[in-house]
Amino acid sequence: MRRLFDVQRWFVMAKPRLLATIVGLSLLAMVLTACGTIAGAGIGAGSGAAIGAAAGDAKKGALIGAGVGAAGGAIYDATR
């Protein structure tokens, strides 16, 4: 009788473990494939802030640079 409860407990715990594994691997895959997008956004924000500071508004320059850099990084990742 005790063995039956152990099997039932294993089945109850197997579903969340499997779900957590699938979610974790999916997150890892997304992070690894979006590496160029994140790097492009960071580089774009830095260069956009520098250009924006020279033009008078560093915040807007960083925002525009991050958007353009992320788009460029995504395109680069897609074609690479």
Domain coordinates in residue numbering, the chain? 38-80
In the chain, % of residues over pLDDT 90 = 0
Q: What is the pLDDT of residues 53-66, one digit of tens each?
A: 888 888 888 888 88
- pLDDT confidence tier of residue 42, bands split at 50, 70 and 90: confident
CA of 63: how far to CAs of 38, 39, 60, 73, in Å? 14, 15, 5, 15
- pLDDT confidence tier of residue 2, bands split at 50, 70 and 90: low
pLDDT at 26: 82
| Burial of 4: CB neighbours in 10 Å, binned 0-12, 13-18, 19+ | exposed
Q: How far apart are CA 46 and CA 14, in angstroms?
A: 46
Q: Taking the model in full, what pTM does it have?
A: 0.56
- SS3 at position 1: coil
